[in-house]
Amino acid sequence: MLKGIAASAGVATAKAYKLEQPVVVINKTTDVDAAKEIEKLDAAFEKTIKDIEGVKERAAKRLSEEELAVFDAHLMMANDPELIGQMRNMINTDGVNAEYAAAQVADMMVAMFESMDNDYFRERAADVKDVTFRLKCNLLGLEIPDLTAINEPSIIVAHDLTPSDTAQLNEYVKGFVTAIGGKTSHSAIMANSLEIPAVVGTTGILEAVNTGDVIGMDALDGEVFVNPDAETVERLAVKEKEYKEEKQALKVLINAKSVTVDGHEVELAGNIGNAKDAEQVIANGGEGVGLFRTEFLYMDNDHFPTEEEQFAVYKQVLETMKGKKVVVRTLDIGGDKKLSYFEFPEEMNPFLGYRAIRLCLDRKDIFKTQLRALCRASVYGKLCIMFPMIATVNEFKDAKAVFEECKAELIAEGTPVSDDIQIGMMVEIPAAAVLADEFSKYADFFSIGTNDLIQYSMAADRMSQKVSYLYQPYNPAILRLVNMTIQGAHKNGKWVGMCGAMAGEPNAVPILLGLGLDEFSMSATQILKARKVVNGLSYEQMQEMAQKCLSLDTAQEVLDFVQSEVK
């Protein structure tokens, strides 16, 4: 069994199809017959265009116009007279072979696009790579695996999948396992929209698997079994069946309210990392976005995203959510989240150091770019902004003052800004939880970040395997901090959400509901299950149960008690 990251939920067992791209080796030859080489080049271009058209045609059976756009971009590139022109020129003037000219021009173009300060052009670099890889293979007579030709149930095993690879997956592909990648990599996002299971970041998978082996993949727990025994196959089959049945049964709740049997209503929202995720939140019946982790905009980049670039993304998310609430968290960088283009100071304890709001208040230039983009986007939906890692009331006041400054500047410039933006904060430092009744005089709302709140309360690094037993959401100490936060907010009539992983845990939902949590934000795929839980509970009973939980001694006692109370 190999462990990876569960990136798109599901369970499947099928034969492995190991995707192995040909290795391109380019040799330089001089004194060639230029006319012959140009003929070779033209033929290779022709075949490349035909190949892409073929792939597009087959992919069209499964994908939307929008998703097919990647192939149009590739066709445009392959038909671009500039590309072939430069290669022909090089053959003529330098007297080199077609493969060498193709590789040189491709490298130059990729380098040029990659150096541009603009997302659009950087994406074009990926297109050039994709198209010229095909071209070079055609020149060298190398076969590129055709994923659209897969005609028996298969699980694809690959180093990683490119956008054009994922666009080619047909109904026979039951899932894929990749060696690299994370939950937010392109292939993971695509797997979610195609609703096929994916396990990514599975170190060692390429060495362990050959085409034809049987793969059992559990993309709920991120486990991959190579040539599983009969017992495992049976266990996975049961799990797959249960997962599919549950998924189907939950669909009826997409448009249902999140309300208890005695009429207490809460809000179930989704956590997102990019604009595409917002569509998943809607597809899964989410009532809003409770956390937009904007740091991915910065981390998936080679420069600080500009105001314009950020504005486009925030606008898109707000429009996708069609007037439903969107809580955007300002830049939460530092700790384990680094940027390739920004040097953080060396610190003994980066998790306790220069990060998130601390950095933003120190680097107002970075902070203001984001807040201006948010203010400008605010007219396209219902925007809430929250600041991460707030420890003191003054930090919150200072951060809010920077927001007010940006808003005033924009209005003075004649740019419209919504007058209905809520300004809140994350509660993920115990000091903020303890003083919640004071913070709530100033903040419009709280969102409890239990991932960090637990790490700081237990003094247990959330990245450390050795102390992971201290991640105890059910520990009464944590429940009391959550309770204090909710009580503190309600005292001043403010609402409280939770966006840490605890909010989506089926056993935690009854306690949080009983403590009075107003909004639960989780990954999109957890929403319907949480709704089912909420719809089956009595608020009155959960209030009583939650109070009892606060008085227990250990996490295990809480969990046992909840499981005995909630059937």
Segment contacting Mg ion by CB under 5 A, of 73-81, 203-211, 421-429, 501-509? 421-429
> Is the CB of residue 387 less than 8 Å from the CB of residue 407?
no
Residue 288 interface partner, choices ligand PEP, Mg ion, none, CB cut-off 5-8 Å depending on type: none
For ligand PEP, which is the closer residue by CB, 44 or 426?
A: 426
Please report, as ranges, the residues that interact with ligand PEP according to CB under 6 A.
291, 293, 332, 428, 449-452, 499-500
Extract the runs of DSSP E, i.e. beta strands, from 213-312. Answer: 214-218, 223-226, 267-272, 288-293
Q: In the complex, what is the shortest distance from the CB of residue 434 to ligand PEP, in angstroms, rounded to a whole number?
A: 17
Name the residue nearer to ligand PEP (CB basis): 227 or 451: 451
Of 177 and 188, which has the nearer Cβ to ligand PEP? 188
What would the x/- binding string for Mg ion be over residues 493 to 512, using CB under 5 A?
A: --------------------
Among 359-367, 369-377, 452-460, 489-497, the segment contacting Mg ion (CB under 5 A):
452-460
Q: Is 264 a catalytic residue?
A: no
323 in helix, strand or coil?
coil
Q: Which long-range contacts (CB under 8 A, 24 or more apart) does 131-135 make?
A: 131/48, 131/52, 131/74, 131/77, 131/78, 132/102, 132/103, 132/105, 132/106, 133/21, 133/24, 134/48, 134/51, 134/52, 135/44, 135/45, 135/48, 135/78, 135/102, 135/106
Cα 196 to Cα 171: distance, rounded to the nearest angstrom: 10
Nearest 5°: phi and psi at 305? -60, 135
When asked if residue 449 is in the footprint of Mg ion (CB under 5 A), the reply is yes
Number of residues that bind Mg ion (CB under 5 A): 3
The CA distance from 50 to 71, in Å, is 12
- Buried b / exposed e across 396-428, counting CB within 10 Å, b at 16+? bebbbebbeebbeebeeeeeebbeebbbbbbbb
Cβ 505 to ligand PEP, closest distance in Å?
Answer: 13
Min separation Cβ 450 and ligand PEP, Å:
5
Is the CB of 14 or the CB of 427 nearer to Mg ion?
Answer: 427
CB of 525 to ligand PEP, least distance (A): 17
Active-site residue among 137, 406, 499, 549? 499
Residue 303 beta carbon to Mg ion: minimum distance, rounded to whole angstroms? 24
Query: Please, what is the minimum distance in Å from the beta carbon of residue 87 to ligand PEP?
Result: 46
Q: Which option in ligand PEP, Mg ion, none does residue 450 bind, with CB closer than 5 to 8 A by kind?
A: ligand PEP
Task: Find the shortest distance in angstroms from Cβ 177 to ligand PEP.
Answer: 25
The residue from 287, 452, 505, 519 that contacts Mg ion (CB under 5 A) is 452
DSSP sequence for 324-379? SEEEEEP---BTTB--TTSPPPP-S-GGGSS-HHHHHHH-HHHHHHHHHHHHHHGG
136 binds, among Mg ion, ligand PEP, none (CB under 5 to 8 A by kind): none
CA of 291: how far to CAs of 5, 189, 240, 269, in Å?
A: 21, 17, 30, 8
Marked catalytic residue, from 137, 186, 406, 490 = 186
Of 524, 78, 556, the residue nearest 290 (C-alpha): 524
User: Is residue 335 within the footprint of Mg ion (CB under 5 A)?
Assistant: no
In the list Mg ion, ligand PEP, none, the entry touching 423 (Cβ below 5 to 8 angstroms by class) is none
Interface with Mg ion in residues 120-159 (CB under 5 A): none
For residues 456 and 449, what is the distance between their CA atoms, to the nearest angstrom? 11
The secondary structure of residue 496, as a DSSP letter, is: E
- 186 an active-site residue? yes
The residue (of 134 and 329) whose beta carbon lies closer to ligand PEP is 329
**Residue 500 binding: pick among Mg ion, ligand PEP, none (C-beta 5-8 Å cut-off by kind):** ligand PEP
Provide the minimum distance between the beta carbon of 299 and ligand PEP in the complex, in angstroms, as a whole number. Answer: 12
Please give the C-alpha separations between residue 362 and each of 186, 358, 366, 369, in angstroms, as whole numbers. Answer: 33, 6, 9, 14
Nearer to ligand PEP by Cβ, of 37 and 428: the residue is: 428
Q: Which residue number, 48 or 447, has a Cβ lying nearer to ligand PEP?
A: 447
**How many Cβ atoms from other residues are within 10 Å of residue 514's Cβ?**
26
In the bound state with ligand PEP, the residue whose beta carbon lies nearer, of 288 and 449, is: 449
Contacts of 459 (CB under 8 A, 6+ apart): 470
Phi and psi at 204, nearest 5°, equal 90, -5
Close Cβ partners of 218 (under 8 Å, ≥ 6 residues apart):
6, 11, 199, 224, 225, 236, 239
Residue 287 interface partner, choices ligand PEP, Mg ion, none, CB cut-off 5-8 Å depending on type: none
Q: Which burial class, exposed, middle or buried, applies to 558 when counting CB atoms under 10 A from its CB (0-12, 13-18, 19+)? A: buried
Q: Which stretch binds Mg ion (CB under 5 A): 6-14, 70-78, 393-401, 428-436?
A: 428-436
| Residue 293 touches which of ligand PEP, Mg ion, none (Cβ within 5-8 Å per kind) | ligand PEP
User: Which residue lies nearer to Mg ion by CB, 428 or 444?
Assistant: 428
Contact positions vs Mg ion (CB under 5 A): 428, 449, 452
Catalytic sites, residue numbers = 186, 499
